[in-house]
Amino acid sequence: MKNNNLSLIKRSIFSSTIGILSTALLLSGCQKPAETETTNEPQTTKTTTVTAPVAVEETTSVRAMEQDEKSQPITILALGDSLTEGLGVNPEDNYPAQLEAKLKEMGYENVDVVNSGLSGETSTGLVNRLDWVTQTKPDITILTIGANDAMRGLELETIEENIRTAVKHLQDNGSEVILGGMQIYDNLGNDYVKSFSAIYPRIAEDMNLQMIPFFLEGVGGDPELNQADAIHPTREGYTIIVNNNILPVLRPELDEALAAKTNVVESSQ
């Protein structure tokens, strides 16, 4: 009986062992999908790492294109009277000089701002020298004229006609025109003052021009920003005119002109 019992015990142990081994194999088989998920994780990381340099290359390419555009030569003609010439300030302090310096600081390395302001200039005098000033072949012209006419009480119709003639001449010679709006003191009567100021937006609308609403905005009438004559800006006054009044209007026109030049160069290659 003992031998029979012993045999039964051995068989029982053997069966239990087989069962445990079978269960272990089944469990190890169930764990294989988890190993597959683990091996997939590094693949996702690799994909992200590969795409990153593409974005960097695109950004670099865009920056290179922008720099190519800014490196194109461009001529800006500053055309007007003593407010343009810079009467009473050093040559490096008038608005054309400050504008050129500012643009180069901003990356427009081949920009040339030509100062064609003349003290005492009227709209009639300006029209008479248009053939000479357009020899500079300006891409963009900032036109600021009419204040001397108004201070002399000249006919408003004549002022407007002269400004329109100047704009058309410049446009016909391939220059984009930015018109500087002007205002005068109320010493000639309210009707004259209002009618004079209205000339500029009317011309800008009719001739599809970008316009500086008031060239002396933020400076005119401020004794701290004007010379003793209370008419002509100081160096600090011109800095405000350049940064606040001219650049916001000029930059879109400048970038458009540079892009057009870049396209012409690329198409010819």
Q: For 152-168, how does the pLDDT look when each residue is reduced to its tens digit (9 = 90+)?
A: 999 999 999 999 999 99
Identify the band that residue 66 occupies on the pLDDT scale cut at 50, 70 and 90. Answer: low
pLDDT for 178: 98
Is 224's pLDDT higher than 80? yes
CB 241 within 8 A of CB 83: no
Mean pLDDT of 170-191: 93
Our answer to whether residue 169 is catalytic in this structure is no
pLDDT level of residue 187 (50, 70, 90 thresholds): confident
- Can you give the pLDDT at residue 126? 98
> 192 pLDDT exceeds 90?
yes
Task: Judge whether 81 and 181 are in contact, CB under 8 Å.
Answer: no
**Summary mean pLDDT of the chain:** 83
**Residue 81 among the catalytic residues:** no
Quick one: pLDDT at residue 81?
98
CA distance 261 to 227: 40
Is 50 exceeded by the pLDDT of residue 202?
A: yes
- The predicted pLDDT at position 102 comes to 98
pLDDT of the residue at 54: 56
The mean-pLDDT minimum among 62-66, 92-96, 186-190 falls in: 62-66
What is the pLDDT at residue 263? 81
- pLDDT of 4 reads 42
Question: What is the percent of the chain with per-residue pLDDT over 70, rounded to a whole number?
Answer: 73
* DSSP 8-class letter at 134: G
Could you give the 3-state DSSP secondary structure of residue 154? coil
Q: Which residues, in sequence order, are CB contacts of 95 under 8 Å at separation 6+?
A: 78, 83, 84, 86, 233, 238, 241, 242, 246
pLDDT of 52: 52
Per the model's pLDDT, the better-predicted residue between 188 and 177 turns out to be: 177
From 81, 123, 149, 232, active-site residue: 232
Q: Taking Cα atoms as reference points, which of 243, 258, 159, 255 lies closest to residue 202?
A: 159
* The token pair that represents 67 in the structure block: 């720099």
Among residues 172, 191, 229, 268, the one annotated as catalytic is 229
Distance CA 152, CA 231 (A): 15
Q: Does the active-site annotation cover 131?
A: no
Helix and strand numbers, DSSP H then E, in the chain = 11, 5
Residue 26 and residue 166: Cα distance in Å, rounded?
94
28 has a pLDDT exceeding 50: no
DSSP helix/strand/coil, 128? helix
Please compute the mean of the pLDDT values over residues 256-267 and round it to a whole number.
82
% of the chain residues with pLDDT over 90 = 68
> Which position among 81, 82, 116, 149 bears the catalytic label?
82
Model confidence at 264, pLDDT cuts 50, 70, 90, reads: confident
What pLDDT digit, counting tens, does each position of 43-61 carry? 444 444 445 555 555 565 5
What pLDDT is stored for residue 261 in this prediction? 87
Per-residue confidence at 216, pLDDT binned at 50, 70, 90?
A: very high
Report how far residue 263's alpha carbon sits from residue 178's, in angstroms, rounded to the nearest whole number. 23
